[in-house]
Amino acid sequence: MPSSLDIEKKIKALYTIEDIVGAMKAYAGVTMRRTEDLVQNIRAYENNLLFAMADIVFHYPGISLKEQNEGKRILVAFGSSQGLCGSFNEKMVDVVSKVITGNDILFAIGKRLKSSFELKHVPYEDYSDSVTSINGIRPALKETVSKIMNIYSKEEYYNLTLIFTYIFEKKAEISVEQILPPDINKVSALNPTRIPPFTYLEPKIIFNKILEEFLFISLYRCYMESLRSENWYRLKSMDGASETLKRQLSNLNSVQMYTRQEEITEEMLEILGSGMFYKK
């Protein structure tokens, strides 16, 4: 049976771990609160770009969008590069395994997600690191856009689909969302304005710039949604770890008290057995 000193060392170690878990919970909570408001603003901006796209397509019929089901697809799956986020990456792998076909090319975001693909023998073309903070999204996005557009520029690839996790009503859901070409029906249903846009630029140039901005902001939103979801999973994992630590500390404190009482009793018996309290 371990001594009370050994148990005390274990208790101190668990308190240290509890402090680390508490710090991780606090960081995950702050990240989730920061991303929640930003995601709403990004979605509003994305809708404005779709409205502008609808205006251009409506007033200048010569500009046509590629057919949605034409050619091959580029799938971009968003995961994490860090651990302690539960089944965040595993669930993404399960969804990708169901939607990917032999004509698709897969691009993974996150080292952990890449490793999960390798374990499940899901082939991927390339990968990039995920982000750990909001400030890291923009530099990561430049690298990702460059790699994706190098593939998309090939004539056989016409479809870009993003697969990411988002939080809805306190639940984690995975979305499979086509970005390029934009959904023609969705764009047409936006009720474009009846007044043609006043511009000195060629409509095709405007449309291409809107399309570039739409791609950029859509990827930015997916990074943001994925970062929020990753920390949601991490917060749940840390909550479970925190409860486990509390139970272990409670058990160890009880064992320490019992062990200390046993040690005191043994010391008293040794003292009494030595006869030092008896007169000669």
- Same domain (yes/no): 225, 121: yes
How many structural domains comprise the chain? 2
pLDDT mean for each 10 residues of the chain (280 residues): 79 86 84 86 88 80 60 88 88 94 90 93 89 89 81 70 90 90 66 71 83 89 93 88 84 83 78 61
pLDDT at 274: 66
Q: Is residue 108 part of a domain?
A: yes
Q: Is residue 279 part of a domain?
A: no
Beta pairing partners, 176:
163
pLDDT at 116: 93
pLDDT at 92: 95
- Same domain (yes/no): 91, 222: yes
Type and span of the H or E element at 157: strand 157-168
Q: Is residue 95 part of a domain?
A: yes
pLDDT at 68: 47
SS3 201: coil
- Same domain (yes/no): 159, 74: yes
- Same domain (yes/no): 145, 176: yes
- Same domain (yes/no): 40, 170: yes
- Same domain (yes/no): 259, 160: no
- Whichever domain contains 186, its CATH number is 3.40.1380.10
| Range(s) of the domain holding residue 248 | 4-23+236-274
For strand 105-109 and strand 126-128, is the pairing parallel, antiparallel, or unpaired?
parallel
- Same domain (yes/no): 18, 81: no
Q: Is residue 210 part of a domain?
A: yes
Crossing angle for the helix pair 4-59 and 203-274, to the nearest 10 degrees = 170
Residue range 25-62, pLDDT digits in tens: 888 888 888 888 888 899 889 888 888 887 887 777 77
- Same domain (yes/no): 92, 159: yes
pLDDT at 186: 67
Whole-Å CA distances, 240 to 140, 235, 243, 245, 246: 31, 9, 5, 9, 10
Q: Is residue 174 part of a domain?
A: yes
| CA–CA distance, 55 with 65 (Å, rounded to integer) | 13
Beta pairing partners, 159:
73
Edge to edge, what strands does the sheet with 72-78 contain? 126-128, 105-109, 72-78, 157-168, 171-180
Closest-CA residue to 246 (of 47, 11, 7, 4):
11
Q: Is residue 280 part of a domain?
A: no
How many C-beta atoms surround the C-beta of residue 75 within 10 A? Answer: 21
- Same domain (yes/no): 147, 59: yes
- Same domain (yes/no): 43, 118: yes
